[in-house]
Amino acid sequence: MAKPLKDIPIVGRPTWRDIADSAVRKIKELTGKGSGVDGAFGAYTRAYSRRKSKGGFPHQASMSTTPDLKLTGDMMRDLKTTSVGETFAVISWPSQGEKVRWNTAQGRAVSTLDKPLAKSVANYIFRRIDKAIKRNIKQARVHKTFRFGKR
């Protein structure tokens, strides 16, 4: 049975959760490829790159010399969906926000106040929201009245 438009969720909590979780995965994939909100990350210094390639850091998880923000894995592992409501979702780094800011200062911006998401991630989110709205609007009871001629 059709519902009045006001009773249909525009997106809904389960869809927001799925969109946010997918956005987190996309941010991690993009970061793993060495890219963020401003495009490719700035290169590591020669000394840092050499030390990382030799496993010279405590708790090191990655030996890659490509700037991928995965030295220990802690920062990207901390990125998650932290809140979901009927009209929103929040993704954040609950305990690693300082590392995000520090990496931005080093030319490796994964998220900033001006650009919280890379364009490709934002576009993905917009496509998902659009798809959810179009799917949900089909449930609406819509009455169309057309009048022709004189009254």
Sort strands 35-36 and 39-40 into parallel, antiparallel or unpaired.
antiparallel
Cβ-based neighbour number of residue 39 at 10 Å: 10
Cβ atoms of 77 and 100 within 8 Å: the answer is no
pLDDT score of 125: 95
Residue 51 lies in a domain: no
Residue 39 lies in a domain: yes
Q: Tens digit of pLDDT for each residue in 44-90?
A: 899 999 999 999 999 999 898 889 898 999 999 999 999 999 889 99
Q: Tens digit of pLDDT for each residue in 90-141?
A: 999 999 999 999 999 999 999 999 999 999 999 999 999 989 988 877 776 6
Residue 81 lies in a domain: yes
What is the Cα–Cα distance from 150 to 13, expressed in whole angstroms?
48
Helices 13-32/119-137 angle, 10° precision:
160
pLDDT score of 2: 59
Residue 63 lies in a domain: no
- Angle at CA 24, nearest 5°, toward 23 and 25? 90
Residue 20 lies in a domain: yes
Rounded to two decimals, the pTM is 0.83
Token pair of 60 as six digits: 């090191």
What is the Cα–Cα distance from 29 to 74, expressed in whole angstroms?
15
Reply yes or no on whether the pLDDT at 4 is more than 90.
no
Residue 55 lies in a domain: no
Residue 122 lies in a domain: yes
Identify which of 125, 128, 124, 97 has the alpha carbon closest to the alpha carbon of residue 111.
97
Domain that holds residue 14: 5-43+71-137
What is the Cα–Cα distance from 65 to 7, expressed in whole angstroms?
53
Residue 50 lies in a domain: no
Domain total for the chain?
A: 1
